[in-house]
Amino acid sequence: MNTFFLDASALSKRYSGESGHWLVDRLFERATPARLQCALIGAGEVISVLVRKKNDGRIPPLVFQQAMTDFTNEVAAAALFEKIQFSREQAVASWLLIEKHSTNATDALVLRLALDTAAKLRPNGHDLVLVASDLRLLRAAKDEELLTFDPERNSQAELDALIAAEQLLPSSAQGQPGAG
């Protein structure tokens, strides 16, 4: 079974109506909250996206309030939706990923958290799918042999297969179309 680690670039789509939001909506509809997680700092990034869109007029105040209510109920205050806090050791370890993948510090930290979570899941026959729309982060995740899903570029069939997967995909499927 796959657990889905949502980066803010994907998670914010559900609440702001960005391109690809319908696939993030489908993920929320089809996967249990216990299979969904994000970095705690990523949850803050989603709020930042919503505030920025409200402030520059891309979303009206009433839509913003509903989005914040939905986000709070589904993610921020949802006990089963895990918000992963990073340790000092993980922060320091993420610095190596910055140079290796030419990524920013936040993406390197998200990648480090996803790698550590995948390492905990894989011995039990499960895996982690990093859900993101940040191409640099997705490329780095694939280079690190994580499964990925991009709601702007991947299909509903690919998402459904990842949701339905009951066991670890063979390593030969890592990073290939349909596997992330």
Taken in order 133, 170, 122, 87, the sign of the CA dihedral is negative
Residue 37: helix, strand or coil by DSSP? strand
Reading phi first (left if > 0) and then psi (alpha if -120 to 50, else beta), residue 16 is in alpha
CATH of the domain at 67: 3.40.50.1010
Q: Please give the pLDDT value at position 167.
A: 53
For the chain, the domain total comes to 1
pLDDT band for position 166 (cuts 50, 70, 90): confident
Model confidence over 1-22: pLDDT tens digits? 999 999 999 999 999 999 999 9
Residue in 30, 62, 38 with CA at minimum distance from that of residue 159 = 30
Domain that holds residue 89: 2-173
Residue 179 resides in a domain = no
Beta strands across the sheet bearing 36-39: 82-84, 36-39, 2-6, 127-131, 147-149
Q: Please give the pLDDT value at position 168.
A: 45
- Determine the average pLDDT of the residues in 128-153: 98
Residue 125 resides in a domain = yes
Residue 86 resides in a domain = yes
Model confidence over 59-118: pLDDT tens digits? 999 999 999 999 999 999 999 999 999 999 999 999 999 999 999 999 999 999 999 999
pLDDT score of 174 more than 50: no
pLDDT score of 175 more than 60: no
pLDDT score of 173 more than 80: no
The C-alpha atoms of residue 133 and residue 15 are separated, in whole angstroms, by: 15
The C-alpha atoms of residue 101 and residue 125 are separated, in whole angstroms, by: 27
CA dihedral 111, 112, 115, 118 (to 10 degrees): -100
Q: Contact 105/94 with Cβ under 8 angstroms?
A: yes
The C-alpha atoms of residue 108 and residue 105 are separated, in whole angstroms, by: 5
Residue 161 resides in a domain = yes
Q: Please give the pLDDT value at position 161.
A: 97
Residue in 125, 44, 109 with CA at minimum distance from that of residue 83 = 44
Model confidence over 20-32: pLDDT tens digits? 999 999 999 999 9
Residue 124 resides in a domain = yes
